Structure 1
Amino acid sequence: MFEGDKAGNPRFCSNQPVFTCGGILTGESGFIGSEGFPGVYPPNSKCTWKITVPEGKVVVLNFRFIDLESDNLCRYDFVDVYNGHANGQRIGRFCGTFRPGALVSSGNKMMVQMISDANTAGNGFMAMFSAAEPNERGDQYCGGRLERPAGSFKTPNWPDRDYPAGVTCVWHIIAPKNQLIELKFEKFDVERDNYCRYDYVAVFNGGEVNDAKRIGKYCGDSPPAPIVSERNELLIQFLSDLSLTADGFIGHYKFRPKKLPTTTAAPITTTFPVTMGLKPTVALCQQKCRRSGTLESNYCSSNFVLAGTVITTVTRGGSLHATVSIINIYKEGSLAIQQAGKNMSAKVIVVCKQCPLLRRGLNYIIMGQVGEDGRGKIMPNSFIMMFKTKNQKLLNALKNKQC
């Protein structure tokens, strides 16, 4: 049905089925694809496929091909995969040409939804679904729903050999309403990269992959610090790309009662709420340009923390729009990171152009909040300082700190 030529381009056999926008699919196995696949998918569309396999089995979804408009946050054209048919937990969101590994539902129902905006690019996707026994998924599958008071989770093949390439695992841990979840990684070895772009573990508060609720993104061979959920749900996502692999990990979780009241200090930045349409007001920009606190005290209350070189600055109205070439990122949050070759950069807006002052060509440690557009917002009281090599040790220590 689907083949590839020697150059890796898609080639299709004559018995290719006709793919329409969405549908209801039942049975042991089948195929779904974007409307008109392998032709270019239409703009401004929302297509939903509801898959049901026999009772007592789980759905395994394998993407054979994917080519959607690429964006590092998948904001424009994307495919969402959910557990269940309605109000289900989102297993993952995909775009570009990266083909995720096998996705497994926790029950016999799965929903796939594709959304495209006004500008399209690419041939869409094709995937195959099949039914599997929940307790006989084999080494290539992983993930699932964890509701016991304590338990563990691990990468496929652990501890006998490296995890496989091209795998996506999602564990959804659910505690009773009045309890929290404590998470600890015992062993940890995931392909190292400064920005964890290739293989990584991401942990989220709540029940879906949502960058705004991401606690952290981890790779390398140092286990993340212990994590405690905000409420009664955590989602753990593990993803490996199609190249290097490593030993993997084993983690343990347990439920524990909420401790009230909490002693967490309110973020300093709440004085100036960040919104997409934020315009500098005279009152805001007349305040003294003076940062408060220390690197340590501002780390947890900031959405993002990075060290970088200011490479462009443009004044627009009363604000300064800057592009920062990233030296190191310590806390990414939902900040949009652009990549050109090996160079990574981010866009930030200094809401009051003179406060704090950013000069082109200089290196800074920048902490701030993130707007809905993925750009960093720097307020008059945001913590910014000149970056020196001696700061790196403290910043690396803060990176492993549990806020």
Structure 2
Amino acid sequence: MVDQLETHEVQFGSHNVGRVRRHHFTCGGNLTGESGLLGSEGFPGVYPPNSKCTWKITVPEGKVVVLNFRFIDLESDNLCRYDFVDVYSGHNNGQRIGRFCGTFRPGALVSSNNKMLVQMVSDSNTAGNGFIAMFSAAEPHERGDQYCGGRLDKPTGTFKTPNWPERDYPAGVTCSWHIVAPKHQVIELKFEKFDVERDNYCRYDYVAIFNGGEIDDAKRIGKFCGDSPPAPIVSEKNELLIQFLSDLSLTADGFIGHYKFRPKKLPSTTLAPVTTAASATTSLKPTVPLCQQKCRRIGSMESNYCSSNFVITGMVITTVSKGGSVHATVSIINVYKEGTLAIQQAGKSMSAKIIVVCKQCPLVRRGLNYIIMGQVDEEGRAKVFPNSFVMSFKTKNQKIMNTLKNKRC
């Protein structure tokens, strides 16, 4: 919310955010009407620590909300874990359109109805000048090439970037396709053509794909850019979310993709042998016999190195319990053997998704460093079993790991 006081020009370095009423941006509020401004508490001053502010935006019935960030400067982190702005379509239990931090300014964000929720969270440490954004009301689809995405629930379908195939996709676009299959079915996804602005870390324009119906780092299957189509993807359950985002500069041809529903494969009634790390990969879900095994590594570091699909060292930064398993994100220190592991990159930081199939075995804790060797599922996620080679990583292990990397299996 903003008081009706004097206006002044706001300038940060080369960024001029225009005439902004001074002051006062407060922590959250209800904003209604055809258009308006919202900003972090105290903007353009440094925002306060340990805060959580929520703005509920409502435009007239029958219209959609379009949000444009004019300036953003929050603590930077490749996973936006500390200070961030979340934008949701709707007020309650809405679909998250995106999470933003650092100085990355997304293109126009469009809600699917006349309501949008913006939430800013800050932790106790580093801060910045915050953000200022403008909202406006628009007719659904009136924005033409700026408007894309939606819910897809037919058994087969196609999704593509705005302007495809006549010309490049526009700058400053955010699209979210939410694909929903019937219960007990999964979604198979394949890109026919793919050309999105290339960057080693996919920082500017990218496609991100998530298991489930919302943007959630723990459920992210991958983040893609460049001109090589991603490998075919199969959802874990009956929902997938595809997000496409382009920044305000270079664009490219774009993409066209297809999806189809198919029955979930029934799990085998016989338990696969689990005498080695390699054979254990045929059982991807926690089962009583598998998880009742003794929690111990089988074989040596050397034998596991050769039999493993991937070998990395890294710090566990997030852990989420799901059923009898633990889904973890590992911030990678070194990659010794990549195999088919899907590695995410942002700046110089690399991370990977790890599924510890049996919750207690091996036990991994947040904040600790590990050597992890194992196999990879068809979606590029690491699978760790009770007999996989996982051990604490110390600096002294570096020499052994480098020797193994140069070894021919």
For the criterion TM > 0.5, the same-fold answer is yes
What SS does the aligned partner of 1:176 have? Answer: coil
Deviations 1:66-116 (A, max 9, x none): 100111111110011112211222111110000011111222221111100
| Residue matched to 1:50 | 56
Aligned residue-pair number = 340
Q: How far apart are residue 372 of structure 1 and its match?
A: 4.6
Listed as ranges, the matches of 1:154-165 within 5 Å are 154-165=160-171
Query: Does the alignment pair 1:234 with 2:228?
Result: no
Q: Displacement of 1:4 after TM fit?
A: 6.5
Is 1:324 aligned to residue 334 of structure 2? yes
- Give the whole-Å Cα distance in 1 for the aligned partners of 2:199 and 2:364: 23
Unaligned runs of at least 5 residues, structure 1: 274-282, 309-320, 348-367, 392-403
Q: 2:29 is matched with which residue?
A: 23
C-alpha distance in 2 between matches for 1:128 and 1:114: 15
Name the structure 1 match of 2:300.
Answer: 289
Distance 1:322 1:107 in 2: 40
Q: Within the alignment, does 1:136 sit opposite 2:147 as a pair?
A: no
Alignment partner, residue 65 of structure 1: 71
The amino acid of 2:300's aligned partner reads C
CA–CA separation in structure 2 for the residues paired with 1:192 and 1:369:
38
Task: Pick the aligned partner of 2:389 from 363, 382, 395.
Answer: 382
Give, in angstroms, the shift of residue 292 of structure 1: 6.3
SS in 2 for 1:212: helix
**Deviation for aligned residue 1:169:** 1.9
Structure 1 partner of 2:282: 265
Which secondary structure does the structure 2 equivalent of 1:82 belong to? strand
Distance in 1 (alpha carbons) for counterparts of 2:285 and 2:305: 11
Map residues 231-380 of structure 1 onto 2, 5 A cutoff. Answer: 231-261=237-267, 265-267=282-284, 288-290=299-301, 298-299=308-309, 323-324=333-334, 331-332=341-342, 339=347, 372-373=366-367, 378=372
* Residue 307 of structure 1, CA deviation: 10
Relative to structure 1, the CA distance from residue 67 to residue 150 in structure 2 (aligned partners, 3 Å threshold; closer, same or farther) is same
Using the alignment, how far apart are the partners of 1:129 and 1:374 within structure 2?
43
- TM-score w.r.t. length of structure 1: 0.71
1:6-64 Cα shifts (integer Å, max 9, x gaps): 94144653634521111112222221111111111111111111112222222211111
In structure 2, distance between residues paired with 1:103 and 1:7: 25
**CA drift at 1:232:** 1.3
Cα drift, residue 117 of structure 1: 0.6
1:350-391 per-residue CA deviation (whole Å, 9 max, x = no partner) reads: xxxxxxxxxxxxxxxxxx998655966537843878446999
Shift of 1:65: 0.8
Q: Return 5+ residue gaps in structure 2 as ranges.
A: 1-6, 270-280, 315-330, 353-361, 374-386, 391-400
Aligned CA-pair RMSD: 4.0
- Distance in 1, Cα, partners of 2:196 & 2:313: 24
TM-score, L = length of structure 2 = 0.70
Is the Cα contact below 8 Å between 2:305 and 2:404 reproduced in 1?
Answer: no
Give 1:213's aligned residue: 219
Distance in 1 between residues matched to 2:12 and 2:52, nearest whole Å: 33
Match of 1:83 in 2: 89
Secondary structure at the aligned position of 1:139 is classed as helix
